[in-house]
Amino acid sequence: GESVGLHLPTLSVQEGDNSIINCAYSNSASDYFIWYKQESGKGPQFIIDIRSNMDKRQGQRVTVLLNKTVKHLSLQIAATQPGDSAVYFCAEKPPDGGYNKLIFGAGTRLAVHP
């Protein structure tokens, strides 16, 4: 089946630096994407979403970029803080499914060092 994947399993950054987490998706017809953050021992938490008719969306300290040409999604975190340490998942809504059946990638662990 089609799935969402990630380039890097682990990313280590210094506190205050910017972080970029990447994700490659395989279904060019997917029309909606989400980033979730999962801290140790907790369930995933919504960060930001983007529809396929956009190529960039900004939130508070986070920006999601979508490149449909190469089927690539990225999450940029500005001024990374220790509280950003977590596993980050991208998820897509399949074209034949609803928002209820998200397909998650395998995750990237972000480690922030002081």
| Interface positions with other proteins (CB under 8 A) | 4, 32, 34, 41-46, 49, 89, 91, 93, 99-107
The residue (of 5 and 16) whose beta carbon lies closer to other proteins is 5
Question: What b/e sequence results for 93-113 when a residue is b if at least 16 CB atoms lie within 10 Å of its CB, and e otherwise?
Answer: bbeeeeeeebbebebbbbebe
The residue (of 27 and 104) whose beta carbon lies closer to other proteins is 104
Give min distance, CB of 31 to other proteins, in A: 11
Are 15 and 113 in contact by the 8 Å Cβ rule? The answer is: yes
Report the candidate in 40, 38, 37 with the shortest Cα–Cα distance to residue 48: 37
The residue (of 38 and 76) whose beta carbon lies closer to other proteins is 38
Give min distance, CB of 110 to other proteins, in A: 14
The residue (of 75 and 89) whose beta carbon lies closer to other proteins is 89
Are 90 and 35 in contact by the 8 Å Cβ rule? The answer is: yes
Q: How far from the centroid of its chain's Cα atoms is residue 12's Cα? A: 16
Give min distance, CB of 86 to other proteins, in A: 13
Give min distance, CB of 114 to other proteins, in A: 26
